[in-house]
Structure 1
Amino acid sequence: MTTTLLPDGLRLGGLHVETPVVLAPMAGITNAAFRRLCAEQGAGLYVCEMITSRGLVEGDQHTRDMLVFDEAERVRSVQLYGTDPVYVGKAVEILCAEHGVAHVDLNFGCPVPKVTRKGGGGALPWKRTLLAAILEHAVRAATPYGVPVTMKTRKGIDDDHLTFLDAGRIAQESGCAAIALHGRTVVQAYSGRADWEAIGELVAAVDIPVLGNGDVWEAADAVRMVEQTGAAGVVVGRGCLGRPWLFRDLAAAFAGEQVATLPTLGEVRVMMRRHAELLATHMGEERGCREFRKHVSWYLKGFSAGGRLRHALALVDTLAELDALLAELDPAEPFPVGELGAPRGRQGSPRARVALPDGWLDSRDGVVAVAAEGAAEQTGG
C-alpha cells in the first residue's frame, strides 16, 4: 500500500490541517505552553492533555483547569476519555458549546492498568456495542457545532484479541471523521516495534482517513510510514520530547523539502528558555519552572553536559536561576547525531497481562458493568 504526499494536508470533516501531523496528547506534557512551543515550529494539529468526560460533566475543578488554551491557539483540540456513552456525549457538548473546541478525539488506546481494569482505554474496543454507543453519542453531540470527532486506538488487547479492524468499521459507521491507530497492542504498552503493516491493513479496510502512530522519531519516519501504509497523516508523541523542532522538520518533509534540524547546544538552550518562559506565563514562574524540570533530560539527551549541571537544571525554581545555568552550556557543541532515530520517553517491557474487568473477554458484545471512570494518563508515540 503506497500513497502520494499531497500538498492539501489533512481534512477532518470541515477542519483543514495544513500539515498532516497530530501531536499526541501526553499527560503532564501537552499543556498550553508545550502546544504553543510546538506550533511555533510548524503547522499541524496540537491536542490538549486527555481529560475525563465524567470529571468535565460533574464540574471537577482539576479537569476544568486542564482546559487552558494559549492566546495563539487558533484550533482548540481536546482528547476525551470515558466509558459511559451519556457522559461522553454531554462532555462533547460542553467542549463545543462552552470552550470553543474545534476538534474532539476519543481515547481508546491508553494501556495504563488503572484505566484498562475499568474497561477503558485500549480495553474498551473489545466491547463493540459499547464502543459504537460512545462514538454515536459523541458524534451526535458534536454535529450541531460542526466539530469533527475522531478516535485513537491500538491493535488490540494482545495478539489473540485484536480489535482495530472492528474499531475502524464502527468508527466509520458512527460518523467519525478519522481513526488513529497506534501499531502496538495494550500488552506491549510502549515496548518493541510498532506494527505499521496493521496501519496499512486498516487503511485498506475503511474509507475514512487513518492516521498512523508509533515509532515516528524523525521526519523521514513519518514520510516512510505514509508511503508504506497509505495513511492520511501521522500522530507524533514521544518523538518530540525535548525536540519541538521536529514539527519544523515534519512540515518541511510533507512539503517535499529535505530538511533535518540539527541544532547546536546553543540553539537548544534558546528553545529550553522559550519553553520555560511559556510555562511561567501560563502557570506562574515558580510552578512553571517546576514543570519545566521534567523536560531537562530530554533536551540534553546525548549532549555532554555534566551531571552537576543537569542536576541543578532539574531543580530550578526561577527563570533567573535557569538563565544562569543555561549560560554554562557550551553553545557551540554540535547536536549528537547518534540520537537521531533513537526512541525517546518511556519504553519498558511488555506487560505480563492486561488488567481487565472480570469477564471482560467472555463476549465481544455482551453487557458488562463498567466501573466509574477515574483519572487516566497516556503517553503518545
Structure 2
Amino acid sequence: MSELARPLAEAADRLFAQRCGTDVVASAEAGTWPQTLWSALEALTPAQLLVPEDRGGAGGDWSDACALLERAGEFNVPLPVAETVLAGWLLDRAGLPAVAGPLSFACGKVDLAAAHRQGRVAFEARNVPWATRSTGMALVGLGDDAEAWLLYLPRDSYTTTPDRAPAGDPRDRVSVRDLALTEPGVTCLRLEGLCHADVLGRAALLRATQIAGACRRVLALTLAYTGERVQFGRAIGQFQAVQHQLAQLAEETSAVRVAVHAAASTSDGSWSVAAMAAAKLRAGEAAGLCARIAHQLHGAMGVTAEHPLHQSTRRMLAWRDEHGAEAYWARELVQALRNAGAPSAWQAIVAATSR
C-alpha cells in the first residue's frame, strides 16, 4: 500500500457521504446520469490511479485501488469507478495515452490476436457495464497461449442496446460489426507480460472489493435497525438468536475484507492469481450470506423502496456473478495452486502466509 491509500480513502469517504445519498442512487437507477457526482469523482483521478507518477499518473497500487472501490461499494456509487480504474491501468500498460471521461471494461474470449492479423474485428458482448455512458470501452480478449490482448474502442465505434440491470446500474449489449482496426481511436495490441487470467483476476478483485464495501453498509444498516426495532418490550438486537445472526454478519464482513486486502497486497506473481481467486470466491460466499441475514432481520421493511437496504443487497448479489462466480474461481484457485507447485492445499496456505 502506498502513501496514497489513507488520504484517498478519507477523500472518498467525504465525497461519497456528501454527494452520494440514497436519493442520488435512486435517481441514477431511474436513468439519470449523476454528472455532478462524476465531476467531483474526477478530482480523485480514477483513470490515473494505477498509472506511475513518471507517466503522469497518481502512482497508486492495487491496495490503493481497493481503498477507493471499497468506499464506492459501501456508498453504492452509481458510476463506472471499477471500470474506469481498470481501463486506465490497461491503457497505460499498453503505452496508450490517457482518455478523459468515464470508461467501460469487459473481459471476454474474443480472439483479438486473429483480429489483429486480419485487421478487422467483429463481436457482440453481453451485460457490459456502463457501455452507453462511457467515453470508450476497453475489451480484453485472448491471443495465443492465453496471452492477454487489448482492444480499445472509442464510443462512436460500437453500438449498444440496454441489457438486464439486476444491480440497478446499467448493463448493455455491445455490438461491433466488421470494424477496421485502422479507424481513428481504435487500438488492438498485445498486453506484454499479462495473461488473460491476470486481467480477469484484477477485475474480479475490484468486484470483490465492492462487495466488501457493500457488506459494511449492510452490517451498519442491520445493526441500526435491530437496535431500533422493538418487539416484546425490547430491541430485537437484544435477543440472543438475533445476536448470533449479527455476529455471523460481522464475521462475513470482516472475512471478505481481509481476503480482499490480502489479495491486493500479494505481489508475488506465482501466487497473485490464487489470492485473487480466493478473494472473489470468499466475497461471493459473503454476499449471499450477508444478504440473506440482513433481509431476514429486516423483515418486510428491507424490501420496501423507501428503505436503502435493497440498494446494497441487489448490487452485491449482481457483483457476486460478474467476472466469475464462486464455482469458476474455486476451479481457478485449485489450478493456480497446482501451477505454483503446491503439493497440497495445506502446504500452499503455509507457503502463502509465511512470507
Q: Same fold by TM-score, threshold 0.5 exceeded?
A: no
TM-score (norm 1): 0.26
1 or 2, which has the higher strand percentage? 2
TM-score (norm 2): 0.28
Q: Highest relative contact order (Cα 8 Å, sep 6+), 1 or 2?
A: 1
